[in-house]
Amino acid sequence: MDTLLDRFCRYVKVETTAVEQTDKYPSSPGQLDLGRMLADELRALKLDGVSMDEHGIVMATIPGNVPGAATIAWVSHMDTSPEFTAKNVKPTMHKNYDGKDIVLPGDKSRVIRVSDSPVLAELKGKTIITSDGTTLLGADDKSGLSVIMTAAAHLMAHPELKHGPIRIVFTCDEEVGRGTDKLDLKKINATCAYTLDGETIGELDNETFSADLAVVTIHGRNIHPGLATGVMVNAIRLAGLFLSRMPWQTLAPENTSKREPFLHPYVLEGSVDKATIRILLRSFETADLAKEADVVRAIATTVTNAHPRCKIDIEVKKQYRNMGEALLREPRSVELAAKAIKNCGIEPRFQAIRGGTDGSRLSEMGLPTPNLAVGMHNFHSPLEFACLEEMEASVKILTELAQLWGKEK
């Protein structure tokens, strides 16, 4: 019989790294491999309407056993972050965790320090799962996949638990801002949804950042360096100048917290002829994104004024918006989630997360979608870890939530 841990270890071993700069959807073939695996497992559990469409999106329904009860959805994404490799993940168990720093066995220079991850102090005695340090773990969001699959199996095995229909939705390319691009809300047809894509159990995310992406392209001019005097325009050097002008002391993620916005240059590619900088624009206030874009444009103007022979193009792309306003249209989405958490003996903690989920976009599209925790931590990093007991608690919360919604119309 599959356990939650069995599922988690099986899923993280499938490489599903999202690829940012491609027109393909999904962006990587491993997402299709994992999607087929999940669809087969859903069929084995005898869910209704199991499908995987041409875009790799997996859907199924846990049939309701309360006539007229509201339909909800549980959502998770199959891809992992492109910020670190997820090839040949080796999940590593730290049973009865001793509360000390964790040295990762595949690369002993990588250490998960309690001082950097204070949540570890609360997890002493529990089972911590890491990679071996040579890859990320992929708990974001294979913890969510594992929790949903385990909760679905539990409800299917226990028809005495009363609930309405529950849609299962597994998306692709969430990590590159495209998780909902191919989703059809008419197929989901739910009152609200929940993404299973959060951190410490008890946290209930009812706000996210609003987000845009600025792509800065610096056009230089290349020539043999021996003939470069008065002719060469070095785009790499100008990219360095551009970055030096960014307000890192006041608008950088490493120097901001809570509800403060930021600008985050996270990719730099280039040559003498052309350099590209990709910058994340983030704020809880959607209107402030335009101000952040103006900061980027002003820096470009400063650089081109000082170096008039260079050209700088800036493209700003919309990514997602703060889910907070949309959740107000269906207050039960948050109220019942908080009640489910409390009914499981955990005090709910409302969070405005400094990031986004598929729920950000789903809420904007008209499907209110708060985010629930699944016990993943330090994601997008080789220092990523998950807590088995937190994932198990998440399964209990989902089961309770299903029953609470079973009393709603």
> Catalytic site residues?
79, 174
3-state class (DSSP) for residue 143: helix
Residue 334 CA from chain centroid, whole number: 20
Closest CA to 142 of 17, 321, 40: 17
b/e per residue 241-269 (b: at least 16 CB within 10 A): bbeebbebeebebeebeeeebbbbbeebe
Structure tokens at 319: 């990514």
3-state class (DSSP) for residue 51: strand
Task: Confirm if 274 and 218 have CB atoms less than 8 A apart.
Answer: yes
Residue 215 CA from chain centroid, whole number: 21
Structure tokens at 33: 């491999």
Task: Confirm if 143 and 374 have CB atoms less than 8 A apart.
Answer: yes
Query: What sign results for the dihedral spanned by CA atoms 204, 182, 152, 376?
Result: negative
